[in-house]
Structure 1
Amino acid sequence: MLILKGISMSFRQLPAILLLNIFGIGLFLSWYLPENHGFWYPIDSTIFYYFNAHLADNSGFLKLVAITNNRAFDGVSLLAMGILFLHFFLKQDATGKRRMIIMGVVMLLTAVILNQSGRLFPIERPSPTLTFSGINRVSELTGIPTKDASRDSFPGDHGLMLMIFAGFMLRYFTRWSFCIAVVYVVVFSLPRIMIGSHWFTDIYVGALSMVCIVLSWWLLTPACDAVIDGINRLIPGKHRPVK
């Protein structure tokens, strides 16, 4: 019965899955195939130079960029995601809380696996700060330990993990939680773009195309549910499912 239900769900979601795959593949190829990345390169370089110019003439902006790109600040994005997840967790009974904990673990594993898979791309792309000369480097201007460069910035790993969280919010919770998660993507990935450790397209082409292709098959089919439910049945405990 569960198998038939899963097959039925897959057929219902097939148009959405195919559209997301077409969009994701098209988005990636629009960047990958043209010489020097086609129309994306002017967008990337314009965004980088806009923010980079402000680093030297605005001390407040410089300090903001330095602080928000310090490794310790990553805890703020984790806290924001945790609070949103906790909002739904507290509304669950004991059985629901158990399943949400397992869901959180599966979401984390999904992020780790997808992030590592991104390293398999046959693309080695240094960040803008390592591509252009005569530019401002935040670490040199402030002395604050911060990530202002990357030898392989594509796809954007930080943005990728934020997008995965947004995907899980849409699949398992509410549309408003998805909207909040999308705000998280923009707000918490922006510092990486402002400092020049990532190109705009590292996040909104690289990470987004991966999420559209992979998560569509993972979340819009019974695959993720099957893993969550399978782990739920395997782990002993008072509220473990009977079947």
Structure 2
Amino acid sequence: MQFPTSTRLGGFLGFQLFALLLLASWLIPATGELWQQWNNATYYFLNGSLAANEQWSLLWAVMNNRSADLIPVIAIFPLLLKSDLIFKSTEVRQGFIGLCLLMFVMLIFRTILDKTAKTMGWTGNSPSLELTPFISLDALYPHLSPKDSAGSSFPGDHASVLIIIATYALLHKFNRWSLLLTALAIVFILPRLFSGAHWLTDQVIGGSLIAFFTIAWGRYTPYLAWATPRVDRQLEALFVWIRKFPIIGEWQLFAAPLSNR
């Protein structure tokens, strides 16, 4: 798998410019009013639908439990780890390590945006604390401890991670499997919108800001070309040990590097 060994200015500048234009469209009063209308409409439509029936509200209560954050991993990662869906068999290991390395870059931009948002006053209460009526999943299912409110809701953390994964897959290969992964990512962004814990702009604008700056600095610079083989070598001893186990040891993720075969 080939990562760029020099900065690709088109992607490097393009992703950051698009993210900044999204932010500007939210901050400029004229278009910001449109975003707020979409915020309100999304909240009333999704949160209001929880009154439809008990099974529907229970589903989103479960999806908003902290432990449910593992569901996207279970649903999405097989598409990344199964050979010849998004990554070829010879690319699975490097592709997965590269994605993990992008998450370190994401943490940097997440911290920067979080501090900037608080300093600039971009963040505030979630819609569940601002709008009425509000159907509280926590009140309906307190034993599930669903997240349905936040005092500082911008940006959306989960959305940024899912957008990074989907964009990373689409950039590598645009096919039905990467499109399926993208569709799953969108579905898993929805729970906090249903519960009222995030505004639409928290997810779309906040999540995209973090994700697209991460992609620009991580995917369109020599970072992955430099870091991936080094991490790969450090993990080989662990992977050799894992290969001793049945089933899991046969996963392509843990296969020996081509140079060792």
TM-score, normalisation: structure 1:
0.81
More displaced 10-residue stretch of structure 1: 39-48 or 52-61:
52-61
More displaced 10-residue stretch of structure 1: 147-156 or 135-144:
135-144
State the secondary structure of the residue aligned to 2:115.
coil
Query: What letter matches 1:92 in structure 2?
Result: S
Structure 1 99/46 Cα, relative in aligned 2: closer, same or farther at 3 Å? Answer: closer
Contact 2:60 2:195 in 1 (8 A): yes
**Correspondence 1:155 to 2:155:** yes
CA offsets, 1:123-147, max 9 Å, x none? 3222100122442211112333201
**Correspondence 1:83 to 2:83:** no
Structure 1 212/134 Cα, relative in aligned 2: closer, same or farther at 3 Å? Answer: same
Q: Which structure 2 residue ranges, 5 or more long, are not aligned?
A: 241-255
Q: Which residue of 2 aligns with 1:26?
A: 21
Structure 1 151/121 Cα, relative in aligned 2: closer, same or farther at 3 Å? Answer: same
Identity across aligned pairs (percent)?
A: 24
How far 1:192 sits from its partner (Å)?
1.1
CA RMSD of aligned residues (A): 2.9
How far 1:219 sits from its partner (Å)?
0.5
State the secondary structure of the residue aligned to 2:125.
coil
Query: What letter matches 2:22 in structure 1?
Result: L
Contact 2:60 2:194 in 1 (8 A): yes
Query: What letter matches 1:214 in structure 2?
Result: T
Q: Which structure 1 residue ranges, 5 or more long, are not aligned?
A: none
Structure 1 85/212 Cα, relative in aligned 2: closer, same or farther at 3 Å? Answer: same
Distance in 2 between residues matched to 1:59 and 1:184, nearest whole Å: 24
Structure 1 130/85 Cα, relative in aligned 2: closer, same or farther at 3 Å? Answer: same
CA offsets, 1:146-174, max 9 Å, x none? 01111111111111111111122134455
Distance in 1 between residues matched to 2:81 and 2:89, nearest whole Å: 10
**Correspondence 1:92 to 2:89:** yes
TM-score, normalisation: structure 2:
0.76
Q: Which residue of 2 aligns with 1:212?
A: 212
Q: Which residue of 1 aligns with 2:134?
A: 135
Distance in 2 between residues matched to 1:16 and 1:212, nearest whole Å: 10
Q: Which residue of 2 aligns with 1:182?
A: 182
CA offsets, 1:5-38, max 9 Å, x none? 733xx3xx42333332222111111112328932
Contact 1:65 1:191 in 2 (8 A): yes
Query: What letter matches 1:165 in structure 2?
Result: I
Structure 1 182/98 Cα, relative in aligned 2: closer, same or farther at 3 Å? Answer: closer
State the secondary structure of the residue aligned to 1:6.
coil
Distance in 2 between residues matched to 1:170 and 1:66, nearest whole Å: 30
Structure 1 81/108 Cα, relative in aligned 2: closer, same or farther at 3 Å? Answer: farther
**Correspondence 1:49 to 2:49:** no
- The total of aligned residue pairs comes to 233
